[in-house]
Structure 1
Amino acid sequence: MARPIMIQGTMSNAGKSILAAGLCRIFMQDGYRTAPFKSQNMALNSYITSEGLEMGRAQVVQAEAAGIRPHVDMNPILLKPTTDVGSQVIVHGISRGNMKARDYFAMKRSLIPEIMASYERLSNAYDILVIEGAGSPAEINLKSDDIVNMGLAKLVDAPVLLAGDIDRGGVFAQLYGTVALLEQEERQRIKGLIINKFRGDRSILDPGTAMLEQLCGIPVMGVVPYMDVDIEDEDSLSARLDNGQAPGLVDLAVIRLPRISNFTDFNVFSRIPGVSLRYVSRVSELGMPDLVFLPGTKNTMDDLLWMRQNGLEAAVLKLAHKQVPIWGICGGYQMLGEVLRDVSGVESAGGREVPGMGLLPLRTEFQEEKVRTQVEGSLGELDGVLAPLSGRCISGYEIHMGRTSIDREHGAMDTAMLVSWRREPVICRPASYVMEVQDTDQQGCERKRVKEDGWNRGNIYGAYIHGMFDHPGIAETIVSSLAARKGISMDEVREGDYEAYRQQQYDKLADVLRSSLDMDAIYKMMGL
């Protein structure tokens, strides 16, 4: 059975996910078979595994740091907020529908057997499990039915490291207050405190850490500096979404939808010299970018209406008229079409129909069964500024409730954006597309299907595929094409290996944590 260690935080966004990823990397470097685990994750950033199952991206990042393939057992419960008081509940990678928060709270303990089944499978396969908590363990109104913090730590008998965020201020009160609100048995599980995101001279903290240790009776096992590492963030609390960046030589604008999902699609652009990646939520922030991205969203119709009400839709349409490239992904792709229909009430009770932006000849129908599949393919013969992308290979994944069809009569002069090979388990059954079965493996559990996907009209581009910009050369070709249009030389733009870059970032993270944490004490608390 694997040895567990759990990272909990004094609040959301205290740095649990990054700390867990760093520990995964350290343990992997030290020769241990390591896997991440988070029993319940609430996030709009998700990923589709090779089995066609959905899980939170934070555990995908941690699995990458550990050098292993992501598996849905690493995140058995995923909650994707659909409204302020409800979420889509995904268990072992498959949606069980939308639930109000009160209803989910009343039934979540019934999911403990499924959580433990995932945990035990991982425990039998690995040496160490790095467990991430959620929010704070001191939410006293939620503790009685906790399945993700101290409740889980008790179930799996895990020692706990408690992290506080000094960058937000009040870190000593955070840590002491959290410990004080726990039951005695829970306090005894906390074996070490971590002060995270520190800037400045460590010695200035020494009197405070000594007093904190005395008050809590728990050692401070590290002061982690504010790290300059480029690793995917967990959710919409990400500092990446703050719009404080000035336009660069090539300026990319992402519409920051209220229910934005999978904004990690655009992270690759932020590491290219001379490129600004701005998240825009008001017309006054939009300006005249070189390209506008319409990202994924958990509620396409409501977010389109939000754009319509605050003037962003009209502003984007004006940019499109001026031949500024517009690229929609998933929900953003659906918005570009003529109409969106939700007869079954998938996104909203009672069902409705909403006109789209009218930039592509698309009709989208929302259905209760979710499409979940990994994709490989190649881009077609594209028009417009981004024509240099034509024929380039891509890979990624699809995750959506809508099925989008092309109005061939009105889109006769346009082109399919790509031809894709879809690798999908039979369980997905996305039957709304007409596709030719090309191959079935010996177990009959995977099919390869080829189809035309996405659509291109001039400088308007759209597709369902997440993660395609991470494929080697895609982001760089987009940037160099936009630069060339402006007559700008982008000598710094090179065809980079984004996967190699990410691995370098994980190693950099591990180096910082090794120098900041008492790893000998951490190994000792785990019995290693």
Structure 2
Amino acid sequence: MTRTGGASTWARALMVQGTGSHVGKSLIAAGLCRIFAEDGHRVAPFKAQNMSLNAWVTPEGGEISWAQAVQARAAGLPPHVDMNPVLLKPVRDTGSQVVLLGEAVGTLSAVEYQAFKPRIWQAVLAALDRLRAAHEIVVIEGAGSPAEVNLREGDIANMAVAEAANAPVLLAADIDRGGALAWVVGTLELLAPEERARVRGILINKFRGDRSLLQPGLDFLEERTGVPVLGVIPYLPRIGLPEEDTLPDERPPAPVRPDTVHVVVLRHPHLANFTDFDALAGEPDVALRFVGNGEPLGRPDVVVLPGSKTTLADLEHLRAHGYDAAIHRLAAEGSYVVGLCGGYQMMGLEVADPLGVEGPSRSLPGLGLLPVRTVLRPTKLTALARGESLLPGMEGPVEGYEIHMGESERAGGSSALRLQRRNAPRGEVDDGCWAGDGRVFGTYLHGLFDHPGFRRSFLNRVRAGKGLPTLPPAPEAPPDEPYRRLAQALRESVDIEAVYRLMG
């Protein structure tokens, strides 16, 4: 793709690309955003196209990738749709829902999406220009690898963006996975000469050990490629900012002890917003693990049905592996069962898709744990929301966001939350449902467990049921603390002065 039109002057730009997915581009870009902001620059993040089921809602009600929302906070900005003009949310192996400038515009196959790209490219350029007109530096994140030669034609995420922004590129590789030197050399070898000339620095990420033992490899890289290694970033397991692409089954589970609250999260095939559980997993008295594909649930204190991009298909998958019977058994034995968004829909009496939002028109019986009926709708609701919990023993303030394409009506039970939505119709709403004594409940509110007060109230109610003493809320670190630590780690491991020189 080539630039057509655009302004004559823009802010400086820097692009972080990777030798592949999962190499840490998102966190590196967030750290650079924070460094530039700390140094007094007006900086904004940008990723032209992100494929992810982890999403966030902007103050205006638009939907963007979770990673760019994190980068915006690192830069000291509210998230905005221009920071991620194209979000692809996979709904099947060969198709995705396309979110353009914060709004879902349809579900397209890979072939259909290619035909749609010229329109998308102009939207990408316009968003990038708006950011560069309003800021001094734009930190751009690439997608996957720039060396996918089969995707070079029609590229709107990597080198085409670097060219449009006239941005130098930092190439990041994950040494923790092994083969980092070969990944770097192979990536550069597969780039066209003009693309390779844009790569001005190499970053080795997630390094553990003594750098002196790595130095011969770094020397080899610089001699072989002619590109300087500008940093060796250490492995940062406790930075407090999980990587967007770190899938749940790649995270080591915490050990289960008698004095912990054992939480099991079902790993749907189309699991969405698994970041909902990061704060919960970080509590010292919680042992949280993701379970799927027929793995036994065991006897957890809490079972969570998380969000899903394809509620009906994931409900079928759940039944096919016998999880419906297991969940009913655990609920009868006193375990808590919690549903978030698509998981909440599954817990009801029925999920109907009369207009074929997720595929052919059909309906399925739900798990019958809550007296709720859901109808999927083609219009997506995206809203920030805050309010109060109405759950027994867990009353108090809550805050989060909604992203869903369905409406659920209670046929009994009680509302779980009372919410005030921002930038959405029907400002104040009763949301969700609880039944029995409140051990079984569901809600559309993502981020429910991010609120420290609600999180501790919930855990203390579970602890009381186990005969464990309640605990006070853990001291909360300042909201900016993870970003400060990330920036400090990059300052100590990356030649930031050289990065500034690259940008001119």
TM-score under structure 2 length normalisation:
0.95
Matched residues in 1 for 2:450 and 2:248: separation? 20
Deviation at 1:395, TM superposition (A): 1.3
Q: Aligned to 2:44, which of 12, 35, 48?
A: 35
Question: What's the counterpart of residue 6 of structure 2?
Answer: none
Contact 2:277/2:449 (8 A) holds in 1? yes
User: Would you say 1:233 and 2:232 are equivalent positions?
Assistant: no
**Structure 2: tracts of 5 or more residues without a match:** 1-9
Greater mean alpha carbon deviation, residues 309-318 or residues 172-181: 309-318
Matched residues in 2 for 1:188 and 1:117: separation? 25
The one-letter code matched in structure 1 to 2:489 is V
Question: What's the counterpart of residue 301 of structure 1?
Answer: 312
Deviation at 1:89, TM superposition (A): 0.5
Question: What's the counterpart of residue 461 of structure 2?
Answer: 481
User: Would you say 1:465 and 2:445 are equivalent positions?
Assistant: yes
Matched residues in 2 for 1:388 and 1:480: separation? 9
Question: What's the counterpart of residue 399 of structure 1?
Answer: 403
Contact 2:206/2:234 (8 A) holds in 1? yes
The one-letter code matched in structure 2 to 1:311 is G
Matched residues in 2 for 1:238 and 1:166: separation? 18
* 1:414-433 map, 5 Å: 414-425=413-424
Matched residues in 2 for 1:284 and 1:141: separation? 37
Question: What's the counterpart of residue 299 of structure 2?
Answer: 288
Contact 1:241/1:256 (8 A) holds in 2? no
The one-letter code matched in structure 2 to 1:223 is V
Deviation at 1:490, TM superposition (A): 5.1
Matched residues in 2 for 1:321 and 1:59: separation? 41
Deviation at 1:99, TM superposition (A): 0.3
Deviation at 1:504, TM superposition (A): 1.1
Greater mean alpha carbon deviation, residues 226-235 or residues 40-49: 226-235
Deviation at 1:110, TM superposition (A): 2.9
Deviation at 1:475, TM superposition (A): 1.0
Deviation at 1:311, TM superposition (A): 1.0
Greater mean alpha carbon deviation, residues 503-512 or residues 416-425: 416-425
Deviation at 1:454, TM superposition (A): 0.7
Deviation at 1:195, TM superposition (A): 0.8
* 1:121-132 map, 5 Å: 121-132=130-141
Question: What's the counterpart of residue 354 of structure 2?
Answer: 343
Deviation at 1:81, TM superposition (A): 0.1
Deviation at 1:477, TM superposition (A): 1.4
Q: Aligned to 2:59, which of 45, 50, 55?
A: 50
Deviation at 1:283, TM superposition (A): 4.8
Spell out, residue by residue over 1:274-298, the C-alpha distance to the aligned partner (whole angstroms, 9 max, x if none).
2111111145441111111110000
Matched residues in 2 for 1:293 and 1:174: separation? 38
Deviation at 1:107, TM superposition (A): 2.6
The one-letter code matched in structure 1 to 2:464 is A
Q: Aligned to 1:178, which of 169, 187, 199?
A: 187
Q: How many residues align?
A: 490
Greater mean alpha carbon deviation, residues 268-277 or residues 147-156: 268-277
Root-mean-square deviation (CA, aligned residues, Å) is 1.4
Spell out, residue by residue over 1:88-139, the C-alpha distance to the aligned partner (whole angstroms, 9 max, x if none).
0110011111000122123313311111111111111111111000000000
Question: What's the counterpart of residue 445 of structure 1?
Answer: none
Contact 2:401/2:445 (8 A) holds in 1? yes
Matched residues in 2 for 1:355 and 1:153: separation? 49
Deviation at 1:487, TM superposition (A): 1.7
Identity %: 46
Spell out, residue by residue over 1:52-73, the C-alpha distance to the aligned partner (whole angstroms, 9 max, x if none).
1110000000011111100010
Contact 2:17/2:143 (8 A) holds in 1? yes
Superposed structure 1 runs of 4+ greater than 6 Å apart: none
Contact 2:34/2:74 (8 A) holds in 1? yes
The one-letter code matched in structure 2 to 1:232 is P
Matched residues in 1 for 2:354 and 2:31: separation? 45
The one-letter code matched in structure 1 to 2:304 is F
TM-score under structure 1 length normalisation:
0.90
Report the secondary structure of 1:370's partner residue.
strand
Q: Aligned to 1:253, which of 244, 260, 264?
A: 264
**Structure 1: tracts of 5 or more residues without a match:** 430-434, 436-448
The one-letter code matched in structure 1 to 2:119 is S
